[in-house]
Amino acid sequence: MWSDTRAATAWALVWLLLVTAGFLLVRRPEERTPKRAIPLALILMIALLARLLPALLLPVGAGYDIDSYRLVTDALLGGREVYTSSVGRHPYLPFQMYIMGAMAYLSQASGLPYVVAIKLPAIFADVAITGLIYRFSTQTRGAGWAAYPALLYALNPVSVLVTAYHGQFEAVTLFFLLLAWWYWHREHIVSSATLLGFAILNKTWPVVFLPIVWIRLHNWRDRIVYPAIAIGIPVLSILAYLFIFSAEPTPMLRRALTHRGVAGYWGPGAILNPAAVVWPGLQPIVDFAVVIRNWLLLAAILISLWWTRRQPALDAFLTLLLSMFVVTVGFGIQWLVWPIPFALLADEDRWLKPYSLAAAFMLVIHLYGLHMYPWLSEWIPAPAHEWVIRMSALPAWGIVVAWTISRYRRAMTKDLTHIPTLDGINPSC
């Protein structure tokens, strides 16, 4: 690891450009041309190298998040109750904290720098996701095709930035959620519900997958069992934690169930928030958007559920995620990775490529402007650099809007021919 943050982040930017070049060089196989299978082991090595090298050499992650992790792991290893010892700094249910604690212990025992150790679970989860995409694609479209989406994930700059640069653990959640979808397709209801339960326990947002599945279940027994398991796992984990630590539920649940990201850094809010500083007359609009943000999300979810009700679960879920991205007022930059594995499995690579580039641009501006070494503030004086950081979201948001409209049109015409199906599985699943 370099101790010079400035030099390390400069090198990391060069590495990111190389990875992104590799991402752009991955070519979609021709349907009529015989495709030679690329060994999975080679693809996994590429995915690991793309993430592990910058993680080993960067002495930083996103500063606020890494500091929050330290507060959590210090409390956990010190035998203290986490939510009252790190008030507001762990807006998650009690699961990821134990993975963090194990990494903090590894750091103490081995001498591995904390910022490296804390990133390792997400790095390995990202590599595992690459393997899952390869495996799922092999079973739907053959081994010759599978290398294409797997490489697009292995070299995806958004995934690399979120996991190895930022240090967020979104990949752990996505790993459980992808498996939940896969077992759902294989009609293993209990296994799918169990994995979804752990995904929700890790980060609460995968709960939006539950109604996608529920409306596609074939009998009332499954409609009772599936949500009972998926919701029961986080509920029982919460109760166990509260009992063991004799803790009050409010410090945990207040943040975990109400966290909606930071307003003003995504969509129209990225313009309205800084503009309201210059023109105070816009402030009521900004405030009103924050007040109704939950209603906007609920409306997007309900409309998406109804509009995609005849589509496969994978297609419907991708559309739902994108719909949420269109209307959300609050945002976390790590959320940009959510649609990527599902888009690859839904054969949406033509939209995914420009989205990934625009999202990576936004992440770079934020990480190099706010969260790692503040390069942007050295180049651009305040308050101009704040405008640049906020408006960096507009290209990605614009692509999301266009992508979402495209998917709604496709659902309206019931064009499902692009969706790969599994042998013996009803496409309505």
Instruction: Evaluate the CA torsion angle 182, 299, 338, 310 in order and state its sign.
Output: positive
Q: Is residue 228 part of a domain?
A: no
- Write the CB contacts of 9 (distance below 8 Å, at least 6 apart in sequence): 58, 60, 368, 372, 373, 375
Can you give the pLDDT at residue 343?
97
- Distance between CA atoms of residues 360 and 355, nearest Å: 8
Please identify which residue in the block is written with the tokens 């196989």.
29
3-state SS track over the chain = CCCCHHHHHHHHHHHHHHHHHHHHHCCCCCCCCCCCCCCHHHHHHHHHHHHHHHHHHCCCCCHHHHHHHHHHHHHHHCCCCHHHHCCCCCCCCCCHHHHHHHHHHHHHHHCCCHHHHCCHHHHHHHHHHHHHHHHHHHHHHCHHHHHHHHHHHHCCHHHHHHHHHHCCCHHHHHHHHHHHHHHHHCCCHHHHHHHHHHHHHHCCHHHHHHHHHHCCCCCHHHHHHHHHHHHHHHHHHHHHHHHHHCCCHHHHHHHHCCCCCEECCCCCHHHHHHHHHHCHHHHHHHHHHHHCHHHHHHHHHHHHHHHCCCCCHHHHHHHHHHHHHHHCCEECHHHHHCHHHHHHHCCCHHHHHHHHHHHHHHHHHHHHHHHCCCHHHHHCCCCHHHHHHHHCCHHHHHHHHHHHHHHHHHHHCCCCCCCCCCCCCCCCC
Q: Is residue 109 part of a domain?
A: no
Give me the average pLDDT of each 10-residue run along the chain (429 residues): 82 96 91 70 96 94 92 93 88 95 96 95 98 93 89 98 96 97 92 97 96 93 96 96 91 86 87 82 86 92 94 95 95 96 95 97 94 83 83 95 94 58 35
**Is residue 75 a part of any domain in this protein?**
no
Q: Residue 254 has which token pair?
A: 């207040």
Find the domain containing 408 and state its range: 259-422
The dihedral region occupied by 306, where left means phi > 0, alpha psi between -120 and 50, and beta the remainder, is alpha
In a domain, 179, yes or no: no
Residue located via tokens 């739902």 = 320
Structure tokens at 133: 């995409």
| Integer CA distances (angstroms), 129 to 177, 181, 341, 360, 419, in order | 10, 13, 8, 19, 20
- Predicted pLDDT of residue 417: 43
Closest by CA to 155, choosing from 339, 340, 369, 364, is: 340
What pLDDT shows up at residue 106?
A: 96
CA distance 279 to 272: 9
**Per-residue model confidence (pLDDT) at position 424:** 33
> Considering its fold, how many domains does the chain have in total?
1
pLDDT at 414: 60
346 is a domain residue:
yes
pLDDT value at residue 33: 54
Query: 153 lies in a domain?
Result: no
Residue 394 lies in a domain: yes
Question: Do the domain assignments include residue 180?
Answer: no
